[in-house]
Amino acid sequence: MLIAGGGLVGLCAAAFLAQRGIRSIAIERLRASSPLPRAAFFHMRTLELFRSLGIEDEVREQSARDYIPEGGIVALESLAGRKLADIMPSLNEGVADLSPCRRLYLNQPSLEPILRRCALSAGATLNEGAEVTAVDQDADGVTVTATNIDSGGRRELRGQYLIAADGGHSRVRQLLGIEYGGRGAFSNSLTIYFTADVSPWIADHAWSVIYVNNPRLSGFFRLNRSAQAGFLGVNTVGDPKLDAVAAANAAADTSEARLIDLVRIGVGVPDLNVRIDGFTRWRATASVAQRFQDKRVFIVGDAAHLMPPNGGFGGNTGIHDAHNLAWKLALVIGGHASEELLSTYSSEREPVAQLTVEQAFARYVARTAPWLPADPPPQPMINDLNIELGYLYNSSQGLHADPHTTRGMPGSRAPHLWLTRSGERLSTLDLIKNYTLLSGRDGGKWLGVAAAVANEFGGLPLNAHCIGRDVGDPEGLFGEYYGVGAKGASLVRPDGFVAWRSPQDSADCAGELGAALARSLIRH
């Protein structure tokens, strides 16, 4: 398997593939992670995927070193100014019953080494200092030309498929002639990395993200635990009502004096002692690739969708892309599924990307640029949880739902419920490694046919558990959470989404389970 890009999403793709026994080569331009402290907001769904890789604890420990846990999101006039709004009082308020994991912030340069070790230790290969400069597909595979950034030397690599995780300027996407559609760019933004003691204005406030909005700039701060350093993202400067074009060009002047001035404006202290550690220019953009697949090439992450940082949806959505694709590739390569299964990557992930990009844009407008003209107008904002855990695949209920109410509905993420086994507490999500059949306490008929049905699909990996018998259900809530009775069963895909359920048993359990698997695997 070939992967273009060895950053956040590319490394996750390599790790998810390795988790399923698929070796990969990731081709990455950079020889090391950026030293600049680019913080990212990682959602519960993403932490659940890290949990499945066995790195959740390490990620959480690193997060606690970088940032204050459980911080909130606020809007201020400036750090020294008045509060304008409490956007999210606490990072994990009201989420405890939905997941075994909790949201967190983590510097991306701190996370990537963890992902790199995870992928490499499981058999992935990382080819650094090179980029994909040519792609050639045929009926059996993909050949890419990897060009060394320094020497210009070229090397041909071949794999069955190629995952393009090479970012918003994706060379692979360009080589395939796939364009972005959507709203495009609406701000020439700037991130300023700085060192300055702003602790007097943070005091004991547990704030993870601080939006600042005043007549001179709009943007957001993220600060380290001690409030001695961090970065300021600047989206607009000046009054957009007077000159919207100039205001949106925040990165027009990147002289050191101007960067110091902007930090001081954001803090609200004109004589603050500031050291500039670096800066990056970026465009606030809301775009989605016109297609996510070209024969044997799949587009993931920023190569597939670009969105403003508001809500922290970008990186999380890319990681979920990679996970959705990895298990499907593994089953096709292993001969358990038809190649048609791979087409469901696009049909499932494109609608999620469209929804998420529009929701990120709506948050950008509401929190940073309410003056921004938009045609069509921004969508009404839906609850973060609906985007984070409640997106749906191929559901008659639409693109999203409140994850409190989905209750094991086919097309939704399987609900989290605390169970017990051998005296240890575990989540229902911890049981889901491959296709997984979960039955009620009297659902032995379903479990009795599981192995034989799996053999009909070439020895398909299929786990089966009777909840309330071989796995304890202390509060007796499995049936309520999964929408099945004591004799019912739920079939969950390897990515943790419900493929099918039967509220009770059946006169032909083997036939029903086999038909459900055939539909999910696109086996005719």
Catalytic residues: 211
Which amino acid makes up residue 149? I
Beta strands in 161-274 (DSSP E): 162-164, 180-195, 207-214, 217-223, 229-237
How far from 35 is each of 97, 113, 248, 332, CA to CA, in Å? Answer: 36, 12, 27, 38
> Rounded to the nearest 10 degrees, how much is the dihedral formed by the CA atoms of 64, 67, 72, 78?
170
> What span, in angstroms and rounded, lies between the C-alpha atoms of 189 and 195?
20
**The total number of residues written for the chain in this structure:** 524
The alpha carbon of 149 is separated from its chain's Cα centroid by a whole number of angstroms, namely 29
The full 3-state SS of 396-461, as one line of letters, equals CCCCECCCCCCCCCCCCECCCCEEEECCEEEEHHHHCCCEEEEECCCCHHHHHHHHHHHHHCCCCC
How far from 167 is each of 101, 221, 315, 431, 456, CA to CA, in Å? Answer: 27, 24, 11, 33, 40
Tokens of 340: 């048609």
How far from 132 is each of 147, 148, 295, 318, 461, CA to CA, in Å? Answer: 6, 9, 17, 19, 34
> What span, in angstroms and rounded, lies between the C-alpha atoms of 167 and 10?
9
Q: Map tokens 């259900």 to a residue.
A: 473
Q: Which bin fits 231, alpha (ψ -120 to 50), beta or left (φ > 0)?
A: beta
